[in-house]
Chains A and B, each alone.
Chain A
Amino acid sequence: MSVLEVKDLHVSVETEQGTKQILKGVDLTVKQGEIHAIMGPNGSGKSTLAYSIAGHPKYHVESGSILLDGAEVLEMSVDERARAGIFLAMQYPVEIPGVRMTDFLRTAKTAIDGEAPAIRGWVKEVGEAMGALRMDKSFGERNVNEGFSGGEKKRHEILQLELLKPKFAVLDETDSGLDVDALKIVSEGVNRAHAATDLGVLLITHYTRILRYIKPDFVHVFVDGKVAEEGGPELAERLENEGYDRFLQPSGVA
Chain B
Amino acid sequence: MSIATTQTSAAGSEQHGARAHSDGGWGAATVPVQTRSERFSSTRHEDFAPVLGVEIDWKLTPVSRVKTLIDDELDGSAYDLADRGSSSGAAVEWIGMDDPRVGSAGTPEDRAAANAWSSTQKALSVTVSGDERIAVGLDRSGFGSAPRAAHTVITAKPNSQGHVVLRSSGPGVLAENVEIVVEDGARLTVVSLQEWDDYALHLASHFARVGRDASLTHIVVSLGGAIVRVNPSVHLSGEGANGDLYGLYFADAGQHLEQRVYLHHEAAHTVGRVNYKGALQGDGARTVWVGDVLIGRDATGTDSYEQNRNLVLSEGTRADSIPNLEIETGDILGAGHASATGRFDDEQLFYLQARGISEAEARRLVVIGFLNEIVQKVGDPELESYLAGRIVDELGAAS
Binds A, one of B40-48, B111-119, B251-259, B360-368: B360-368
Chain B contacts for A54, CB-based, 8 A: 350, 354
- Residue pair B356, A98 in contact (C-beta under 8 Å): no
- The answer to whether B356 touches A96 (Cβ under 8 A) is no
Is B346 interfacial (CB-CB < 8 Å)? yes
A97/B370 contact (C-beta < 8 A), A57-B346, A82-B353, A104-B365 known: yes
Chain B contacts for A77, CB-based, 8 A: 353, 359
Tell me the chain A residues, 116-149 only, with Cβ under 8 Å from chain B: 143-144
Are the CB atoms of B354 and A78 closer together than 8 Å?
Answer: yes
A93 at interface, CB cutoff 8 A: yes
Residues of chain B contacted by A96 (CB below 8 angstroms): 348, 351-352, 365-366, 369
A57 to B: closest C-beta gap in Å: 7
Distance, CA A77 to CA B357, complexed state (A): 11
A112 within 8 A of B: yes
Evaluate whether A111 and B354 lie within 8 angstroms (CB atoms) in the complex, with A94-B347, A98-B372 already known.
no
B27 to chain A, nearest CB (A): 32
For A56, list chain B residues within 8 Å (CB).
Answer: 350
- How close is B358's CB to chain A, nearest CB, in angstroms? 5
Q: Indicate whether B355 reaches chain A with its CB closer than 8 angstroms.
A: yes
Whether, in the assembled complex, B73 has its beta carbon less than 8 Å from a beta carbon of chain A, the answer is: no
CA distance A143 to B370 in the complex (A): 11
Interface size class of B (residues with CB under 8 A): 20 to 34
How far is B355's CA from A164's CA once the two chains are assembled, in angstroms? Answer: 8
Judging by beta carbons under 8 Å apart, are B373 and A98 in contact? Answer: yes
How far apart are A23's CB and chain B's nearest CB, in angstroms? 18
Query: Which of the four size classes fits the interface of chain A?
Result: 20 to 34
Q: Which of A77, A79, A160 has the most CB of B within 10 A?
A: A79
Q: Known interface pairs A93-B351, A94-B348, A94-B351. Does A111 touch B368 (Cβ–Cβ under 8 Å)?
A: no
Q: Which residue of A lies closest to B360 (CB)?
A: A79
In the docked arrangement, what's the CA distance between A97 and B361, Å?
15
Interface string of B358-399 (1 = CB under 8 A from A): 110110011011111100000000000000000000000000
A111 touches B361 (CB 8 A): yes
Interface residues of A in 67-113 (CB under 8 A from B): 77-79, 81-83, 87-88, 90, 93-94, 96-99, 103-104, 107-108, 111-112
Q: How far is the CA of A250 from the CA of B371 in the complex (A)?
A: 54
Report B78 CB to chain A, min CB distance, Å: 41
Q: With a CB–CB cut-off of 8 A, which chain B residues contact A99?
A: 365-366, 368-369
Contacts A57-B346, A94-B348, A96-B352; is A79 near B369 (CB within 8 Å)? no
Contact present for B369 and A97 (CB under 8 Å): yes
Question: Residue B358 contacts which of A88, A111, A144, A164 (CB distance < 8 angstroms)?
Answer: A111
Contact A82 B368 (CB under 8 A): no
1/0 per residue B187-214: CB within 8 Å of A? 0000000000000000000000000000
Tell me the chain A residues, 139-166 only, with Cβ under 8 Å from chain B: 143-144, 160, 164
> Would you call A112 and B356 a contact (CB within 8 A)?
yes
Query: Do the beta carbons of A79 and B370 come within 8 Å of each other?
Result: no
> Quick one: which of B345, B352, B371 has the most chain A CB within 10 A?
B352
| B369:A82 contact, CB within 8 angstroms | no
Which residues does chain A contribute within 8 Å of B359, judged by CB atoms? 77, 79
Identity of the chain B residue whose Cβ is nearest the Cβ of A99 in the assembled complex: B369
Shortest Cβ distance from A85 into B: residue: B356
Q: Could you say which of A81, A94, A143, A164 has the most chain B C-beta atoms within 10 Å of its C-beta?
A: A94
**Which 9 residue pairs spanning A and B have beta carbons closest together?**
A98-B369, A82-B356, A78-B353, A111-B356, A108-B355, A112-B356, A99-B369, A94-B351, A79-B353
A-B contact pairs, 8 of them (CB 8 A): A77-B353, A79-B355, A87-B354, A94-B345, A94-B350, A104-B355, A104-B365, A108-B355
Contacts from B to A (Cβ < 8 Å): 345-348, 350-359, 361-362, 365-366, 368-373
Given contacts A79-B358, A82-B355, 20 further A-B contacts (CB under 8 A): A54-B350, A77-B353, A78-B350, A79-B359, A79-B362, A82-B354, A87-B354, A88-B354, A90-B351, A96-B351, A96-B369, A99-B366, A99-B368, A107-B361, A108-B356, A111-B356, A112-B356, A143-B369, A160-B355, A164-B355
Q: Which residues of A contact B (CB under 8 A)?
A: 54-57, 77-79, 81-83, 87-88, 90, 93-94, 96-99, 103-104, 107-108, 111-112, 143-144, 160, 164
